[in-house]
Structure 1
Amino acid sequence: MRKLLTLLCILITFNSNSQDKKGLFKSIYEDFLKYSTFYIAGDVQNSKENAPNYFVRTNPNGSLYDVPVVVDGTEYYDYDYRYGFGVRKIARFDYEMKGKQYYDGTESNVAMTAPNSSVKGFEYVFHTEKERSRDDVFQNHRYFLKHSGKHHIVKIESRKQGKVNFNYKSAEIRAKLPIGKKFSLSAGAMYRTHDRPYGYNPVEIWLNETNAQGQAINPWYTLGFYYGYDDIYYTYEDSYTGETVSDWYWINEEGETIAYTDLQFRQTVFTDLMNRYNNEIWADIDTFGVVSPVIGFDYYHYKNNFWLHSYGSYLLPYHNYVKGDEAFSYFNRNNWGLGGLVEDAGKEQWKDYQAGIQFGWKLSKNVGVFFEGEYTKFWDTKIYNSSVGLNITLK
């Protein structure tokens, strides 16, 4: 956020210095605040209702074969809510329509993903909100700032969406070459962040560590000891076969039995412990920051009865990490084996890209066809959304 505000001050100062005849505050208002909207908004809705789920427990005053106690195990949640506030100034392209009569922070305009904008100058969204979903509370934000000119594009963004575990920052600067009135090319550099250490599975490496004799250094059940569980050996005589049976039952730190056999522990509690172990190791790895060369295009044609807007960006495979431990970076996504990072493994570059299209054709006053779609491939993440429609108006 500090870097975003610094860039904002630089751009405002540059614009105000170029217009000495205007007062500073008037320049800030006309260049930055004019046509912006301040808003406070929120919503409340029912949480997802789970299907009923019941199980039985042995009656404390009886045995396994007495009438059991039926327990309602259904998860119930309080209502979901979201409230926030912000300020925005994003120009819509001619084909875009305002979704509602008011802003609430959920809007996403094409100018926020396409290289070009429908106007020159500043566009921005500064939004922060608090959200509760299924009793989990998240603090979300989206900070977006863009400045477009005839021959340049500067954009910076920070976005956090806790419900989907999304945390992303980016900044880019491009030179733009208009070719005619409808088409333009752009080229520059882009900085992006990601939290995930792709290809690195800590628990798999930990479980597969062996000594010189090929024996496991960390037997799978020792992960239970690591998190405070304990196993107790027992034997009993099978009343039907007369055989002596032995196994281990497991207790938690409070001494409560949570599994009656090793197999039951491995199929239930152990799975959660594996994920817990991975999440704790991943949390200790710093966020990654990578700089990439980027080229893009933008084509825009609009008439009342026909429009086509297509755009795309291609990040060339010459990426360079400037933040984070490179051993865990996307360079080594395929270089992690059961014994850890492959020795002398080479860096593996990759290709990322974004593309979008907005199309509409009103065949007559009563018939129209429409298509919208966007696709993003960043690292192993692929995001796509599209919609198609046929409208027939009867009069």
Structure 2
Amino acid sequence: MKKILLILCLLITFNVSGQEKKKLFKDFFKYSTLYVSGDLKNSKENAPSYFVRTNPNGSLYDVPVVVDGTDYYEHDYRYGFGIRKIARFDYEIKGKQYYDGTESNVSMTAPNSAITGFEYVFHTEKERVRDDVFKNHRYFLKHSGKYHIVKVESRKQGKVNFDYKSAEIRAKLPIGKKFSLSAGAIYRTHERPYGYNPVEIWLNETDSNGYAVNPWYTLGFYYGYDDIYYTYEDSYTGETVSDWYWINPEGETVAYTDLQFRQTVFTDLMNRYNNEIWEDIDAFGVISPVVGFDYYHYKNNFWLHAYGSYLLPYHDYVKGDEAFSYHNRNNWGLGGLIEDAEKEQWEDYQTGVQFGWKLSKSIGIFFEGEYTKFWDSKIYNSSVGLNITLK
């Protein structure tokens, strides 16, 4: 992302005179806002939870010790700083009297902007949520002209495990004063190897006779757990019963039967195995053709802003192991990647609507909504309102 920003700056300043560079620098920062912000609040409280332990000075049947097992967390906080210059459309209202880095304007997702020229947000922050500490950032740079759109973005949000980068360039065709079409190319990244489930493949591997190469319980051995065979006589039936109890790497008993181990500890080991394999897979980068539209009409008592982008099914991976790419999301069988499977293309899109109608001085109806479908992720948010002012 730093390389993309550097190349963009070089392209902008190439063959520009010293006087023009000064004007460009002044215009770039004109109307921008530097800010430092933070917030402090209580962490979410959990419902009380208690359990009992045997009194160390007694037996199982003496008065037990009641232990508070509730999880308590220190306060949550967030602090950061940045600089921003984002123009608002006529219908947008500044949410607060100050900026804190949580703002998101329509021009950051819509193809068009409220102004021509540069818009940007460079924000970095640190936050603690329920004792987990994350470093987040959002770097956004956009240049809009009458016939072009150029945009680069890098965003990381630790508490939702979101890390995304993109860069796009489009040619724009205005049709009248309210409508425009755009077309170009976009580069995006994703970290998840869609459709690839390592533990499922590992557990379903079989030999030539159809027997499991990796019996399920061997995953416990892989992580240092051990099972110990035992027998006992059932006092009611007189039958001899046998099973395996499990101990962890520290020698502590964690399950008294194979079934109990499989239903408890084994589930965590499956997720641990998957996460370790996924972490070794590099992030992916894909280039896609994109077309878009933008319609904007505004009057004091009625406005409509509709916009959208459609990524055509001609995606080309330029970063990451393509075997694990979204092209092969449906090509993983129980034994691994299906041999000679055809790569599958797909369609992604993003759209939004901002609508407001003041029927009179006292009554107004409003609707805002955005929907994004990228890979298997579907993100949507919407709100509707009816305002009646009593006089």
TM-score of the two chains, using structure 1 as the length reference:
0.96
Equivalent residue number for residue 168 of structure 2 = 172
The answer to whether the Cα contact below 8 Å between 2:5 and 2:152 also exists between their aligned partners in 1 is no
Cross-structure match for 2:380: 384
- 1:371 — aligned with what? 367
Unpaired runs of 5+ residues, structure 1, are none
Give me the whole-angstrom Cα distance separating, in 2, the residues matched to 1:64 and 1:285: 50
- Asked whether 1:225 is paired with 2:225, we answer no
C-alpha change, 1:171 and 1:214, in structure 2 (3 Å) is same
Q: Distance in 1 between matches of 2:7 and 2:304?
A: 33
The partner residue of 1:184 within 180, 184, 188 is: 180
Q: Deviations over 1:158-208 (max 9, x none)?
A: 000000000000000000000000000000000000000000000000011
SS, match of residue 19 in structure 2: coil
In the alignment, is residue 22 of structure 1 matched against residue 19 of structure 2?
yes
Displacement of 1:71 after TM fit?
A: 2.2
Deviations 1:354-381 (A, max 9, x none): 0000000011111110000000000000
Q: Secondary structure at the match of 1:22?
A: helix
| TM-superposed deviation, 1:60 | 3.9
Find out whether 1:79 has 2:75 as its counterpart: yes
Cα distance in 2, alignment partners of residues 64 and 250 from structure 1: 23
Amino acid at match of 1:390: L
1:155-170 map, 5 Å = 155-170=151-166
325, 329, 343: which one pairs with 1:329?
325
Q: Aligned pair 1:315/2:311, yes or no?
A: yes
1:11 CA displacement: 4.9
In 1, Cα distance between equivalents of 2:95 and 2:127: 21
- Cα-to-partner distance string for 1:5-37 (whole Å, 9 max, x where unaligned): 3144225415x82xx48363343012x100000
1:394: how far off? 1.2
- State how far apart, in whole Å, the 1-side matches of 2:7 and 2:351 are: 27
* Structure 1 partner of 2:85: 89
Measure, in 2, the Cα distance between the counterparts of 1:88 and 1:151: 24
Structure 2 matches for 1:20-169, cutoff 5 A?
Answer: 20=17, 22=19, 24-30=21-27, 32-169=28-165
| Alpha-carbon shift at residue 3 of structure 1 (Å) | 1.9
Query: What is the CA deviation profile of residues 39-85 of structure 1, one whole-angstrom value per residue up to 9, with x for unaligned ones?
Result: 00010111111111122233444444443332222111111110000
TM-fit CA distance, 1:235:
1.3
Alignment of 1:285-364 (within 5 A): 285-364=281-360
Q: Give the match for residue 239 of structure 1.
A: 235
- State which drifts further: 203-212 or 59-68: 59-68
- Number of residues paired by the alignment? 391
**Contact 1:200–1:328 under 8 Å retained in 2:** yes
Structure 2 alignment gaps of length 5 or more: none
What's the Cα RMSD here?
Answer: 1.4
> Does structure 2 conserve the Cα–Cα contact (< 8 Å) formed by 1:12 and 1:28?
no
Q: Single out whichever of 243-252 and 153-162 deviates more from structure 2.
A: 243-252
Q: Distance in 2 between matches of 1:105 and 1:33?
A: 18
Matched residue type, 1:273: L
Residues in 2 aligned to 1:378 and 1:144: alpha-carbon distance in whole angstroms: 19
> Equivalent pairs: percent with the same residue?
84
The CA deviation at 1:228 is 1.0
